[in-house]
């Protein structure tokens, strides 16, 4: 009986019983049909139960017994060659672990549905169009008044849910001195009932929490936050915290495991969308819109989704057309682009987050690399098993000739593979357990500790098991079938064709080398990308520079802000201090169109930053012409511009002394005079070309000429210390000393901000490099094993050759010739594979091309060097064969 049907018997014991019963029944019926007395027929049959047991035992026990015997035998075989088995298990464990770990990450971030009711019916609303820079862009931020119109337009068919981008905020449960960070998300009250999220304590929000802007100061905690911040204290209901100037009361705790709709961010606190300051603004796009069709709507009508989308599109367009009437000074072309955006409904069963879209491709690439490493490891183990099988050819032949069934032999070899895979899977599981969170910590920018739930549940477990099973079949089946097809006569006579085994092993070496080349090649490209991007000149100096995000309880006058800066200048170890609205390369971006000499704007956006006098010097940005801001300069009025600005708007001529206009909504136009020309810097991205930039004074005045008071500012502190963070606590204490309203909410090094722009590249470079090393190691071990085996197998021939006077060089060539031609063949195939596959990942590279000779030569040379090193022990062994001992022994 074939193995699978025995397995089926084993797993379906009841079925087997029924089958036996049915057979007995049909026997009795047959007997009666043939004219036997029914009672007598039954009696003759005796106790059906006893027969059944007997038959069942025969069919089951035999198999179980053979399984047990083979398992024990397989274990003994592994023990016999302990070192090679250990090498096989470890390399396989590393590969399985890496694969499981990659799956865990990809599953948690990209595949796992949100833990809500009907997640599969969730969509995310976004719009696609041509951006101000004339490039296609997609954006999923919406204005709340627009959201309200769209929700009403499709109310019969679907529910729309507004959820803000989750953000870290400062809040306090006690005094202002005890501010703490928490991740906050503004959500529609009906999100909870729509997604079927019940309270674990107290209540969750409903439609009634979304009636009046600013009128619902209540909060719902996530179960996770309730656990780690309050230790699941039920007394938390009714407690209050202050966020900004509003006191919120905790109304309830949402049930686990819901932690918001953004994989990668665990929301601590939900507050009603009505509490957001932008809830009535038509020009603030600050929240995502989730969409869930009512039950049955999509099922009953396939075109329903499209007709709803068109309804939403019409509503959205009408809203924006109304708004565009106020756009003065914008080119018609840009307004058309703005209005002609297409509304998209994209499935969002797994939630929506920036982390998802940023890491989707990098993770897919890592998944492929890790799969290649697994295949390399499988090839290793397959070679090991083939070599072992050849050593066992006689044993197999004996088994066949004394009547061992072929299937039984397959089972025997497969069970040994299963042992390997099982042990490797356990070790690999431990590795995955450790490495998953480690990789997550690498995706995280240091100042924004995103958290990802990495559950190790049945999904991960079954993936691991499926992997182990697949791997067993992959590396075990070929040797098993080969072993079982042994021809006893030739095997017992002294071995079958020895070249056939070597051919299989050589083919596997070629495959290994080509995969290894691919991994090395891709790793080289990512490492170069990371290096070039990190070494990208930014135009300013990050050395010993601290960035202090500072907030004030109430808006503070410029005078007080300057006092704070002055106070910090007196701190020991501080060289220079300047004020700005936000740091360079930070998250904040602010832009506008420029019109020169009253002409309409040319459609190129200019990016802005508000800075104090001395900011240029503190940042070490060169002043090329003109002067820095003076304390008397104000916004609007004076401006500094960079070289790209001069190129784009003034044809590269020196713009100092010239003027330009900025136009704002509602037709306000403001005139600026350029007082200085400064060097180009990186404003928001290391990859994009340098943007036209303009700087306005931090000191801003309103229409009446009065100074505008500010609640937020960034203090840039250039220190003389090599580890500037040593000053952090001093600076933090000094700031409130000036006025108690001031508080530092966050201190970072500018270096960290810059590094956060290369997180993805660093992740790819580090992990790809790690996999490249593993791949090289595995391929080296594989090559070593095959050469070792082939020398062992040909030792007689080599002995004779040495005896008749062959030179060491000739022997070395003889031993390595075949394998090295396989290495070259594999490398050539690897180049081909590499050329084809880089097309899919080109967009992730920076200033590096796959066709660069250096990029191809480096992995090729590395592999060649690795191959030489791996071949060395076998060659030495071959050359050292003593013909006398060898021939005497045979």
Partner 1 sequence: MPKPDSLQGSLDLLVLKILSRRARLHGYAIMSAIQNMSREVLRVEEGSLYPALHRMEEAGWIRAEWVTKDSGKRARMYELTAAGKKQLGAEESRWQAVTSAINRVLREA
The reply to whether 31 sits near partner 1 by the rule CB under 8 A is yes
What is the spatial distance between Cα 434 and Cα 438, in angstroms, rounded to a whole number? 7
Least distance (Å) between residue 47 CB and partner 1 = 8
List, in order, residues 6 or more apart from 655 with CB less than 8 Å away: 641, 645, 646, 649, 674, 677
Q: Contact region for partner 1 (CB under 8 A) — 25-33, 411-419, 438-446, 770-778? A: 25-33
Least distance (Å) between residue 55 CB and partner 1 = 5
* Nearest CB to partner 1, comparing residues 38 and 631: 38
Least distance (Å) between residue 490 CB and partner 1 = 20
Q: Which two three-digit tokens encode residue 347? A: 């499935």
Three-state DSSP state, 845: coil
CA 86 to chain centre: 32
The reply to whether 10 sits near partner 1 by the rule CB under 8 A is no
Least distance (Å) between residue 59 CB and partner 1 = 5
Least distance (Å) between residue 781 CB and partner 1 = 40
Question: Could you say which of 3, 17, 21, 24 contacts partner 1 (CB under 8 A)?
Answer: 24
Bridge partners (DSSP) listed for residue 183: 168
The reply to whether 284 sits near partner 1 by the rule CB under 8 A is no
Q: Contact region for partner 1 (CB under 8 A) — 29-37, 289-297, 649-657, 817-825? A: 29-37
Q: Which of 802, 820, 611, 783 is nearest to 697 (CA)?
A: 611
What is the spatial distance between Cα 602 and Cα 655, in angstroms, rounded to a whole number? 17
The reply to whether 23 sits near partner 1 by the rule CB under 8 A is yes
Residue 803 vs residues 638, 873, 874, 880, 886: alpha-carbon distances, Å = 93, 21, 19, 12, 10
* Alpha helix ranges (H) inside 593-668: 615-619, 643-650
The reply to whether 405 sits near partner 1 by the rule CB under 8 A is yes
Least distance (Å) between residue 12 CB and partner 1 = 15
The reply to whether 587 sits near partner 1 by the rule CB under 8 A is no
Which helix (H) or strand (E) segment is 800 a member of? helix 795-803
* Nearest CB to partner 1, comparing residues 31 and 71: 31
Taking each helix axis from N to C end, the angle separating 13-33 and 38-45, rounded to the nearest 10 degrees, works out to 140
Least distance (Å) between residue 71 CB and partner 1 = 19
The reply to whether 306 sits near partner 1 by the rule CB under 8 A is no
* Nearest CB to partner 1, comparing residues 64 and 861: 64
Q: Which two three-digit tokens encode residue 756? A: 């956060």
Least distance (Å) between residue 299 CB and partner 1 = 40
Least distance (Å) between residue 24 CB and partner 1 = 7
Q: Which of 66, 65, 10, 77 is nearest to 407 (CA)?
A: 66
The reply to whether 8 sits near partner 1 by the rule CB under 8 A is no
Q: Contact region for partner 1 (CB under 8 A) — 17-25, 171-179, 605-613, 716-724? A: 17-25
Q: Which of 613, 592, 636, 584 is nearest to 757 (CA)?
A: 584
Q: Contact region for partner 1 (CB under 8 A) — 18-26, 236-244, 250-258, 438-446? A: 18-26
**Cβ–Cβ < 8 Å for 221, 254:** yes
* Nearest CB to partner 1, comparing residues 31 and 344: 31
The reply to whether 729 sits near partner 1 by the rule CB under 8 A is no
Q: Which two three-digit tokens encode residue 371? A: 């799969």
The terminus-to-terminus CA distance of the chain in angstroms comes to: 43
**Cβ–Cβ < 8 Å for 312, 125:** yes
Least distance (Å) between residue 3 CB and partner 1 = 12
Beta strand residue intervals within 612-731, DSSP E: 623-626, 638-642, 659-663, 669-678, 693-697, 710-719
Question: Could you say which of 7, 12, 18, 26 contacts partner 1 (CB under 8 A)?
Answer: 26
* Nearest CB to partner 1, comparing residues 402 and 703: 402
Three-state DSSP state, 139: strand
* Nearest CB to partner 1, comparing residues 38 and 667: 38
Question: What is the x/- site pattern for partner 1, positions 365-404, by CB under 8 A?
Answer: ----------------------------------------
What is the spatial distance between Cα 416 and Cα 410, in angstroms, rounded to a whole number? 10
The reply to whether 40 sits near partner 1 by the rule CB under 8 A is no
What is the spatial distance between Cα 214 and Cα 286, in angstroms, rounded to a whole number? 16
The reply to whether 669 sits near partner 1 by the rule CB under 8 A is no
Residue 349 vs residues 195, 205, 256, 259: alpha-carbon distances, Å = 11, 22, 18, 14
List, in order, residues 6 or more apart from 842 with CB less than 8 Å away: 850
Question: What is the x/- site pattern for partner 1, positions 43-82, by CB under 8 A?
Answer: -xxx---xx--xx--xx--xx-------------------
Least distance (Å) between residue 73 CB and partner 1 = 20
Q: How many residues bind partner 1 (CB under 8 A)?
A: 24
Q: Contact region for partner 1 (CB under 8 A) — 22-30, 69-77, 478-486, 700-708? A: 22-30
How many other CB atoms are found less than 10 A from the CB of residue 388?
Answer: 21
Q: Which of 778, 37, 667 is nearest to 327 (CA)?
A: 667
**Cβ–Cβ < 8 Å for 159, 117:** no
* Nearest CB to partner 1, comparing residues 28 and 371: 28
The reply to whether 27 sits near partner 1 by the rule CB under 8 A is yes
Least distance (Å) between residue 22 CB and partner 1 = 7
Least distance (Å) between residue 23 CB and partner 1 = 5
Least distance (Å) between residue 62 CB and partner 1 = 5
* Nearest CB to partner 1, comparing residues 62 and 155: 62
How many other CB atoms are found less than 10 A from the CB of residue 283?
Answer: 10
The reply to whether 34 sits near partner 1 by the rule CB under 8 A is yes
The reply to whether 37 sits near partner 1 by the rule CB under 8 A is no
User: DSSP characters for 189-231?
Assistant: TTHHHHTTPPEEEE----GGGSSSTT---EEEE-HHHHHHHHT
Least distance (Å) between residue 60 CB and partner 1 = 9
Q: Contact region for partner 1 (CB under 8 A) — 40-48, 517-525, 564-572, 649-657? A: 40-48
Which residues in this chain contact partner 1 in the complex, by CB under 8 A?
1, 19-20, 22-24, 26-27, 29-31, 34, 44-46, 50-51, 54-55, 58-59, 62-63, 405
């Amino acid at each position: 009986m074939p193995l699978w049907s025995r397995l089926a018997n084993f797993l379906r014991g009841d079925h087997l019983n029924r089958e036996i019963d049915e057979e007995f029944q049909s026997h009795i019926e047959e007997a009666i049909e043939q004219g036997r007395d029914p009672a007598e027929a039954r009696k003759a049959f005796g106790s059906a139960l006893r027969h059944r047991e007997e038959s069942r035992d025969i069919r089951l026990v035999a198999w179980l017994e053979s399984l047990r015997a083979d398992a024990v035998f397989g274990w003994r075989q592994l023990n016999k060659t302990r070192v090679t088995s250990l090498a096989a298990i470890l390399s396989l464990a590393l590969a399985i672990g890496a694969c499981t770990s990659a799956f865990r990450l990809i599953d948690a971030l990209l595949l796992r549905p949100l833990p809500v009711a009907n997640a599969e019916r969730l969509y995310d609303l976004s719009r696609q169009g041509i951006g101000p820079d004339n490039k296609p862009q997609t954006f999923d931020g919406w204005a709340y008044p627009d959201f309200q119109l769209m929700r009403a337009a499709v109310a019969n068919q679907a529910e729309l849910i507004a959820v803000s981008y989750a953000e870290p905020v400062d809040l306090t449960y006690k005094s202002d001195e005890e501010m703490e960070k928490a991740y906050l998300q503004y959500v529609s009250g009906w999100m909870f009932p729509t997604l079927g999220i019940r309270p674990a304590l107290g209540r969750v929000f409903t439609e009634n929490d979304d009636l009046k802007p600013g009128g619902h100061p209540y909060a719902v905690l996530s179960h996770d936050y309730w656990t780690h911040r309050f230790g699941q204290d039920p007394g938390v209901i009714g407690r209050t915290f202050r966020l900004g100037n509003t006191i919120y009361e905790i109304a309830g705790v949402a049930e686990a495991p819901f932690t918001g709709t953004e994989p990668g961010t665990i929301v601590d606190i939900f507050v009603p969308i009505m509490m957001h300051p932008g809830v009535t603004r038509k020009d603030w796009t600050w929240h995502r819109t989730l969409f869930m069709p009512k039950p049955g709507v999509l099922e009953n009508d396939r075109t329903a989704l499209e007709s709803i989308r068109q309804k939403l599109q019409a509503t959205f367009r009408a809203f924006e057309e109304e708004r565009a009437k106020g756009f003065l000074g914008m080119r018609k072309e840009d307004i058309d682009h703005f209005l002609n955006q297409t509304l998209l409904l994209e499935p969002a069963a797994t939630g929506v987050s920036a982390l998802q879209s940023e890491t989707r491709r990098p993770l897919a690439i890592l998944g492929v690399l890790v799969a290649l490493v697994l295949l390399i490891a499988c090839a290793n183990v397959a070679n090991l098993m083939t070599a072992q099988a050849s050593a066992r050819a006689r044993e197999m032949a004996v088994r066949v000739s004394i009547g061992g069934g072929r299937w039984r032999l397959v089972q025997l070899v497969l069970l040994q593979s299963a042992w390997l895979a099982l042990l490797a899977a356990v070790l690999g599981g431990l590795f995955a357990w450790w490495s998953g969170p480690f990789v997550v910590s690498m995706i995280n920018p240091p100042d924004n500790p995103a958290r990802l739930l990495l559950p190790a549940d049945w999904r991960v477990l079954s993936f691991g098991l499926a992997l182990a099973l697949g791997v067993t079949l992959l590396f075990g089946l070929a040797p098993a079938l080969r072993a079982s097809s042994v021809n006893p006569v030739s095997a017992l006579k002294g071995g079958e064709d020895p070249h056939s085994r070597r051919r299989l092993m050589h083919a596997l070496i070629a495959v290994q080398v080509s995969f290894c080349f691919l991994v090395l090649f891709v790793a080289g490209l990512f490492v170069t990308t990371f290096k070039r991007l990190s070494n990208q000149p930014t135009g300013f100096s990050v050395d010993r520079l601290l960035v202090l995000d500072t907030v004030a309880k109430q808006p503070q006058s410029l005078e007080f802000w300057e006092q704070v800066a002055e106070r910090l200048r007196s701190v020991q170890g501080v060289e220079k201090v300047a004020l700005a609205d936000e740091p360079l390369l930070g998250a904040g971006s602010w832009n506008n169109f420029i019109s020169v000499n009253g002409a309409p704007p040319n459609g190129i956006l200019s990016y802005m930053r508000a800075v104090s006098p001395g900011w240029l010097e503190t940042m070490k940005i060169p002043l090329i012409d003109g002067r820095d801001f003076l304390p008397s300069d104000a916004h609007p009025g004076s401006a500094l511009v960079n070289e790209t600005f001069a190129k784009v708007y003034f044809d590269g001529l020196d713009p100092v002394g010239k003027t330009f206009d900025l136009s704002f909504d509602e037709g306000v136009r403001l005139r600026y005079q350029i007082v200085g020309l400064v060097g180009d810097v990186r404003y928001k991205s290391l990859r994009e070309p340098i943007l036209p930039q303009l700087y306005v004074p931090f000191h801003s005045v309103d229409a009446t000429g009065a100074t505008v008071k500010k609640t937020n500012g960034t203090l840039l502190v250039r220190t003389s210390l090599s580890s500037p963070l040593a000053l952090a606590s001093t600076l933090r204490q000094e700031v409130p000393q000036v006025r108690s309203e001031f508080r530092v909410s966050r201190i970072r090094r500018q270096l960290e901000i810059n590094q956060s722009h290369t997180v993805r590249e660093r992740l790819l470079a580090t992990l790809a490099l790690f996999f490249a090393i593993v791949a090289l190691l595995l391929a080296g071990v594989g090559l070593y094993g095959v050469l070792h085996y082939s020398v062992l197998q040909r030792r007689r021939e080599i002995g004779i050759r040495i005896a008749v006077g062959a030179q060491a060089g000739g022997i070395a060539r003889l031993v390595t010739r075949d394998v090295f031609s396989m290495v070259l063949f594999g490398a050539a195939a690897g180049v081909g594979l590499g050329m084809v596959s880089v097309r899919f990942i080109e967009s992730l590279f920076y200033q590096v091309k796959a066709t660069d000779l250096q990029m191809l030569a480096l992995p090729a040379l590395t592999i060649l060097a690795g191959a030489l090193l791996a071949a060395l022990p076998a060659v030495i062994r071959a050359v050292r064969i003593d013909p006398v001992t060898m021939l005497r022994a045979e």
